Structure 1
Amino acid sequence: MKPIEPIFEDRWLWVINKPAGVVVNRAQSVKQATIQDWAENSHKLQVTSDKIFLQRGGVAHRLDKDTSGCLLIAKDPETLDRLLKLFKLRQIKKDYLALVHGQVKPAKGWWSWPINRGRGKKRREFRVTPQGKSAFSRYQVQERYRYQGESYSLLSVDLETGRTHQIRVHAAFAKHPVVADEIYGIAAVSQADRVWCGRHWLHAARISLTHPITGAALTVKAALPQDLEAALKRLQRQA
């Protein structure tokens, strides 16, 4: 497994900067070491018989395998329970950076299309559908770029909900797929992206919450990984 970087730690929880390429939770289909394994092997988790805590290894939420950035992990069942309640109440703020195709306009706005799981062979994928669950993504353009005749927008995205693949699904439906997204992007385009960006360009840059035990305001930022930084440096910034 790639090295795990805790960027915040106290008696009750970690925030780690999850590396891309690492799966968060164990599953029968996962053959590699996971973040859950790392947490359990740290010897800092409370010994307990709590089923939910054991099932999750203290992990309070998920990030896609190839998404990097802030991930919350509780060290004991009480902290996990309080974090899960904060997520349910939408009182944990997650801010992402996403590099997408095209010139996103307006420069600031909402994507509010409902999202549901696909059917049949596409059950692992998600899509916008009227029958889906509510999903709200607030975005703002941070920079605009050009590269090899194509335009790109660097977005900050604040998730009001936490649906699986939410940013990737919303961006693709808006005709601005995330760079190098091989699931929701156009196949030929995402394959061309992979020449200069080895994974989808999506990073959980910041997480903000009220600490579940102390009540103090907590904001943690995860530095942009070198691979995404290198991809961004290939682009020409536009005024």
Structure 2
Amino acid sequence: MNQKILSFRIDAGDAGTRLDRCLSRLIPGSSRTYLQKLIAGGLVTSGDAALTIPRYPVRAGMEIRVALPEPENSEPAPEPFDFPILYEDEAMLVISKPAGVVVHPAVGNPTGTVVNALLGRYPNLAETLACGSSRPGIVHRLDKDTSGCLVIAKTPDAQYKLCTAFAGRETSKTYLAIVRGIPHRPEAEISGLIGRHPVNRQKMAVVERNGKFALTRYRLEKSGCINGCPVSLMKVRILTGRTHQIRVHLASVGIPVLGDATYGGVLSALPEIERQMLHAWKLQLPHPVTGEKIEFCAPLPDDFQTTLNRF
């Protein structure tokens, strides 16, 4: 069995956390159930010792290795398609991706992804795009726990033009985020380099070198309190498309996305908030056939609206 080895050093912020919960933050996109199976199977080690108890409390400075089995069959299986459709024509599809759904199969998430559903709805999509079936039609991504607008190409020409539009910054992406805290300024710009975290290579961070330039603009829409904790609704526009850009940038200025344990830690946690409160609200781009600017808007999910109604 082929394996991919991941290595981590536990930082002070994770000290005392359950092993399975800590790993779910360190390996984004992997379910707790999957990680618990790895732990029980002896695939998580520290030094020469296997860590086989999911509730084991990790210690600061621990070196942990995780052996991820490579999937035997890398071809995603077709599954039922059950996503709200915001727009569809012969060239493209726009869906409202729910939180908790991964865009394409990866270790720990071989099924239940957007790609699985696409292959169920369009059985010949991978063949049509001549790109294999690992990521057919995918021209951009949303994090697992981010909801909202997701664009899919349905023809080779549309895939090329949409990928070019995203890479060339011809798109306009506006998000809504509920954050912990209130920004010092009601409207501001955050810029700088984003690269791999110097210690935890599974995370991103604002860095001084060896990163890619990122630019984020935000505006405060509403602020209040939930259970005595200050929170704010932010309208956020990203002018670049770096991995975890909004989450990293907002955390770097002291207003982490509510529910984002990876970048906000305990500061972002509140009871009944089960995922990061980040929603890809509006997306504007040139149509891959006509070139006309078109805009899509994804309605707020129930959990986001419920949280918003609390302040």
TM-score normalised by the chain length of structure 1: 0.90
Q: Which runs of 5+ in 1 are unaligned?
A: none
Equivalence for 2:21:
none
One-letter amino acid matched to 1:135: A
Contact 2:250 2:256 in 1 (8 A): yes
Deviation at residue 2 of structure 1 after TM alignment: 8.5
C-alpha RMSD over aligned residues = 1.8
2:115·2:134 contact (CA, 8 Å) conserved in 1? Answer: no
Structure 2: unaligned runs, 5 residues or longer: 1-79
Deviation, structure 1 residue 197: 1.6
Find the residue that maps to 2:264 and give its secondary structure.
coil
Could you say which residue in structure 2 is the equivalent of 1:184? 263
Question: Does residue 26 of structure 1 match 2:105?
Answer: yes
SS in 2 for 1:143: strand
Take 1:54 and 1:186, find their aligned partners in 2: how far apart are those partners? 36
- In 2, the alpha carbon distance for the partners of 1:196 and 1:6 equals 28
Q: Distance in 1 between matches of 2:139 and 2:284?
A: 14
Distance 1:54 1:77 in 2: 14
* Residue 288 (structure 2) aligned to one of 212, 221, 238: 212
Structure 1 residue matching 2:296: 3-state secondary structure: strand
| Paired residue type of 1:126 | M
> Is 1:144 paired with 2:220?
no
- For residue 55 of structure 1, report the CA deviation from its aligned partner: 3.9
Q: 1:190 to 1:103 in 2, by over 3 A?
A: closer
Tell me, what secondary structure is at the counterpart of 1:95?
strand
Residues 29-178 of structure 1 aligned to structure 2 (within 5 Å): 29-43=108-122, 45=125, 47-48=127-128, 50-51=130-131, 54-119=133-198, 122-131=200-209, 132-178=211-257
SS at match of 1:14: strand
> Offset of 1:160 from its aligned partner?
0.4
**Residue pair 1:2, 1:22 contacting (<8 A) in 2 also:** no
The CA distance in 2 between the partners of 1:30 and 1:46, in whole Å, is: 19
Which whole-Å CA distance do the structure 2 matches of 1:210 and 1:48 have between them?
A: 22
The 2-side partners of 1:2 and 1:166 are apart by: 29
Residues 210, 123 of structure 1: alpha-carbon distance in 2 compared, 3 angstrom cutoff:
same
Structure-2 separation of matches of 1:71 and 1:38: 13
Answer 1 or 2: higher relative contact order, Cα 8 Å, separation at least 6: 1
Alpha carbons 1:23, 1:35 under 8 Å: kept: yes
CA contact (8 A) 2:126 2:133 kept: no
Query: Which secondary structure state, in structure 2, belongs to the residue aligned with residue 157 of structure 1?
Result: strand
Instruction: Give the conservation status (yes or no) of the 8 Å contact 1:13–1:74.
Output: yes
